[in-house]
Amino acid sequence: MTVKILSIGLRGLEGYRVQVEVQEVPGIAAMVIVGLPDASVKEAKERVLASLYAFGCDFFDKRLVVHLSPPERKKHSLMFDLAMAIGILKAMGKLTETDPPDVGIIIRTVLRRYQGDWFSAAVQACEELGGRCAGNGSLMRCLPIALAYADQEKMEEITALHSRMTHADERATEACLIYNRVAFRVLQGEPLAKAIRKEVEHTRYEPLLMVTPVYPPDGYVVHTMGWVLHWLLRCDSFEDVVISAANMGGDSDTIAAIAGGLKGLEIGYSQLPKRFVEAIGCADELEKLALQLADVRRSFSSSGADGANGMRDKEG
C-alpha cells in the first residue's frame, strides 16, 4: 500500500510543497528515506519509529520506503516527521478516519474494547498493545480535575481514576497525580517552582531538578513529564516555556501544551501574551467551560476552606 501525505519545505523564507510518499516493500527490515534528505531528515527514521513504538506500534520488522518529492530539492529540518508518521500509520493500516480525527492509538484501542467498563477496557487494550500503554494521553487532559475539585483527597482520587480509565499503566497515573498536586499547590498561591520541587521529591523525576533529560520528547508519559518539568524549571515566562518546549520536535506540541497549563495557572489568564490569546480559535467556548469549572469548584468547597485542609494534611 502506498500513502501520500502533503507537507511543506522551506528554502530560506520561501515555502514549497513536499509530497511524503510511504510504501511498504519486500526486503530486509529498515526505513529508507529518499529524495535528497539532509542529515537531520535522515535521522527522522529514529525519531519517528521511536515515537510510534512508544504508542504501541512496532514496525521494526517492516521495510518502509519514504520518498520526498520533488526529488531534485534538498530537504532540511524536522518538518517532515509528522507527515512521515501519519504516512507510516496509514500504510500499515493503523490509522483510519476518526471523529474527532486526533484519537491516539491507546485511546482508539480502549474505545474498541469498551463494553460498559472503562477500567476493564483499558487493561485489555494494554494487553493488546503488548504492555505499551504508558502514553501521555491522560496527562494532557488531567488539569481540569485540579481546577474542579477544591478538596485535595477527592482531586487525587478522581485524577487517578481518570487516568486508569484509558491508561492501565501506573506510570501514567503517577505523572497525572504529580501534575495535579503541583496544580493544587499553585492554586493555593504557592510558587510553581517550589511546588514542583516539593512534589517530585522521592520520585523518578527528582533528578531533573539538577540535570537535563537525555531522552527524546516523545509520547511516552515519563519522557513527556520529564520535559514538562524541565522547561517549567528552566524558563521564567509563559512564552519561553511553550516556545522552548514546542521547538524540540517529536511530540513537543503536547509537551508545550501540558507545560503551558501549569505556567498559565501560575500567572493567570490576564497575563498571557496578547498575541497568544488572540490566536485562540475557540475562546468563547473555553471561557464558558472555565466558568463551569469554577462553579464546580465552588460547589465542592467546604465552608470557604477551598482545599486548605487537604494541603495541611499533605504537608503534615
Q: What is the CATH number of the domain that holds 36?
A: 3.30.230.10
Question: Could you tell me the residue range of the domain that residue 109 belongs to?
Answer: 98-133
Domain count across the chain: 3
- Cell numbers describing residue 123: 487493561
Peptide bond into 26 cis (omega under 30): no
Q: Are residues 162 and 202 in the same domain?
A: yes
- Dump pLDDT digits (tens) for 278-301: 888 788 888 888 888 888 888 877
- Strands 63-69 and 30-34 turn out to be parallel
Angle at alpha carbon of residue 86, lines to 61 and 219, rounded to 5°: 80
Q: Are residues 59 and 103 in the same domain?
A: no
Q: Are residues 76 and 128 in the same domain?
A: no
Q: How far is Cα 58 from Cα 31, in angstroms, rounded to an integer?
A: 12
Asked whether 167 and 138 are in contact (CB, 8 A), the reply is: yes
Q: How far is Cα 142 from Cα 153, in angstroms, rounded to an integer?
A: 15
Per-residue confidence (pLDDT) for residue 98, from 0 to 100: 52
| Residue closest to 127 by CA, chosen among 59, 189, 56 | 56
Q: Are residues 86 and 170 in the same domain?
A: no
Q: How far is Cα 21 from Cα 80, in angstroms, rounded to an integer?
A: 11
User: Side chain identity at 219, as an amino acid letter?
Assistant: G
Looking at residue 209, the DSSP 8-state letter turns out to be G
- Dump pLDDT digits (tens) for 14-42: 667 888 999 988 888 888 999 988 888 88
Q: What SS3 class is residue 131?
A: coil
| pLDDT < 50 regions, the chain | 303-316
